[in-house]
Amino acid sequence: MKLTILGCYAATPRTITNPTSQVLEIRNRMFLIDCAEGTQVQLRKNKLRFSKINHIFISHLHGDHFYGLIGLISTFMLLNRQTDLHVYGPKGIKEIILLQLRLGNSFTGYNLFFHELGSKESEVIYEDEKVLVKTIPLKHRIYTNGFLFQEKIGDRKLNIEAAKAHNIDTCYFQKIKNGKDITLDNGRVVPNAALTFDPLPAKSYAYCSDTMYDEAIIPIIQNADVLYHEATFLETEADKAAMTMHSTAKEAATIAQKSNVKQLLLGHYSTRYDTIEQFKTEAEVIFPNTLLADDGKVFEFD
């Protein structure tokens, strides 16, 4: 599971920082989470292949989370993309994008699917044989969802050496991968565990931005491997956090601690602060396993 932070600052883009967008690579899939202004440039800077992005998840319709979407959709068109593109986001996102395309007399040569969200309950919005994505309803000034990306537990891995040692024919290998025990010609049963390795552990990543402190998300993100939680402010600006429905670093850490996640990643910092180190200092008091997201940073979680 690999996470590339394209941008993780609140509100306005600056020469030194970018608003929110990130790429999660999980089980050979590449998911784009939020798509602020500048996302295309950041994708190029980080040498990520545009064409591998087939699913884009938009948390909410504040500009610092989706103003890069029409640009990316247009570029896909210019690059002569053929593959379907799926966009998941709040109700209204289809209207905004289609209006921009229509008034520009533009169209896409590929199929563009919108999956509009409106539920206040967590729901599964994407599923394939290896990965599942659920919404995390958040509390913000407008309708907002976070996203929980979960790997499914894979098949057990065949231990070829062990199979050979028991003289098992290759035609039984699929059976072994499916978890079956094997009966040898002499009638002896070789248990599946002796012929396989454990599957890779199933990882999970919870993305929560933007939101005020909200304990209602705890049951959804419980025990996640990594939690990205917004920390727009420090406790010194707790009043501003409450007013704008954002969180402080301390509040993000409290959610991490109460949900028993393994790792906390902070982001969505207000650009009023000169350094971001103080966010880590504030959060660590409550949740020691805290890391700071920053533009261009890559995190590998194995």
Residues near Zn ion, by CB under 5 A: 62, 64, 210
**At closest approach, how far in Å is the CB of 36 from Zn ion?**
8
Round to whole Å and give the CA distance between 52 and 14.
27
Distance of closest approach, residue 279 Cβ to Zn ion, in angstroms: 15
Sequence-ordered list of residues with C-beta below 8 angstroms from that of 59, at least 6 positions apart, any chain: 20, 33, 34, 65, 89, 138, 144, 145, 146, 147, 207, 209, 210
Cβ closest to Zn ion, residue 210 vs residue 251? 210
C-beta of residue 90 within 8 angstroms of C-beta of residue 143: yes
Q: Supply φ then ψ for residue 201, to 5 degrees.
A: -65, 145
How far apart are alpha carbons 273 and 234 in whole angstroms? Answer: 9
Q: In whole angstroms, give the CA distance from residue 62 to residue 138.
A: 14
Q: Give the DSSP letter of residue 170.
A: G
What are the φ and ψ backbone dihedral angles of 284, each rounded to 5 degrees?
-60, -25
Output the smallest distance, CB 180 to Zn ion, in A: 50
Give the integer Cα–Cα distance in Å for 144 and 162: 51
Q: How far is the CB of 241 from Zn ion (least distance, A)?
A: 12
Which residue's CB is nearer to Zn ion, number 76 or number 279?
279
Residue among 63 and 199 whose Cβ is closer to Zn ion: 63
* Shortest separation between residue 183's beta carbon and Zn ion, angstroms: 60
Look up residue 92 and give its DSSP letter.
T
Q: Which is nearer to Zn ion, 59 or 254 (CB)?
A: 59
| Token pair of 46 as six digits | 């980080």
Decide whether 4 or 145 has the Cβ nearer to Zn ion: 145
User: Is residue 64 annotated as a catalytic residue, yes or no?
Assistant: yes
| Distances in whole angstroms, Cα of residue 20 to Cα of each of 5, 65, 75, 110, 157 | 8, 5, 19, 26, 38
Buried b (16+ CB within 10 A) or exposed e, 255-294: bbeebebebbbbbbbbeebeebeebbebbeebbeebbbbe
Nearer to Zn ion, 146 or 163 (CB): 146
Residue 105 beta carbon to Zn ion: minimum distance, rounded to whole angstroms: 31
Spot the catalytic one: 34, 64, 225, 295: 64
Catalytic residue set: 64
